[in-house]
Amino acid sequence: MNARRHTLFDRLVLEADLALRTVFGTPNGTGRENPSSTADSAALSSTEKSESLCLMRVDHAGEVCAQALYQGQSLTARKPETRNRLRRAALEENDHLAWCRRRIHELGGSTSLLNPLWYTGSLAIGAASGLLGDAWSLGFLAETETQVVKHLDDHLHRLPAGDHRSRAILEQMKMDEAEHRDNARQAGGKALPEPVKRLMALSSKVMTTTAYRI
């Protein structure tokens, strides 16, 4: 029996569902166990808890951006293998979303109120990078993940020493992001010009600074 082919309307509905799950719910991931499940955190002071919460909110917002980038890039990717590569990576990013959201709730907080804005902007950027061709799109992905790894390193240093649950999540995320970066490079991603890298870093700074507070 032949599988039903999706119409344009079907695809639009699926993409809209993914967007809503990413911003407001929990999208489907790989089913991996939450790294924090086996980690026991020490009692955190109110100041430490507030710092962990703000950092994890930033990390969750970053994963919203990553998911939107992958979605935008997969929409405009030219080769099926590139599209499939992006979708596989997106599933792991969905794990990150779920882990960060759960930890934020455990800390008694909420995700960034500006997540719809982060998602919309990142989706447009992802689609635009895909239109430039798969090599540039993969290069954009590799540079994004390079900056994310640096950002996670910074958060791992800033986390309260006793917050082992948040640390376990960020360490696994760092491993995954580094793998995505390496895979994109191996698949033929082009190195981006330095002005583009600096602009990406500036945009990331705006998002992380804002999401820390809102």
Q: What is the CATH number of the domain that holds 126?
A: 1.20.1260.10
The answer as to whether 151 is a domain residue is: yes
Start-to-end CA distance of the chain, whole Å, equals 50
Residue 199 confidence (pLDDT) above 90: no
The answer as to whether 147 is a domain residue is: yes
The answer as to whether 91 is a domain residue is: yes
Of 3-12, 79-88, 116-125, 171-180, where does the model show the most confidence?
Answer: 171-180
Cβ atoms 94, 27 nearer than 8 A? yes
The answer as to whether 5 is a domain residue is: no
Share of the chain above pLDDT 90, in %: 33
Residue 214 confidence (pLDDT) above 60: yes
Query: Exposed (0-12), middle (13-18) or buried (19+): which is 161, by Cβ within 10 Å?
Result: exposed
Residues 96-125: tens digit of each pLDDT: 988 999 999 999 999 998 888 888 888 888
The answer as to whether 35 is a domain residue is: no
Least confident of 8-12, 61-65, 183-187, 200-204: 8-12
Place of tokens 């990142």: 122
Split into its structural domains, the chain has a count of 1
Q: How far apart are CA 69 and CA 90, in angstroms?
A: 9
The answer as to whether 15 is a domain residue is: no
The answer as to whether 8 is a domain residue is: no
The answer as to whether 9 is a domain residue is: no
Contact residues for 192 (Cβ-Cβ < 8 A; gap 6+) = 136, 139, 140, 143, 200
Average of per-residue pLDDT across 81-97:
83
Q: Per-residue confidence at 1, pLDDT binned at 50, 70, 90?
A: very low
- The domain in which residue 184 lies consists of 44-213
Cβ atoms 45, 101 nearer than 8 A? no
Q: How far apart are CA 65 and CA 61, in angstroms?
A: 6
Residues 21-50: tens digit of each pLDDT: 666 667 777 778 899 988 887 788 999 999
Give the tokens for residue 190. 């082009």
What per-residue confidence (pLDDT) applies to 70?
A: 83
Residue, of 60 and 38, whose pLDDT is higher: 60
> In angstroms, what CA-CA distances link 33 with 29, 92, 96, 148?
11, 12, 11, 22
Residue 183 confidence (pLDDT) above 80: yes
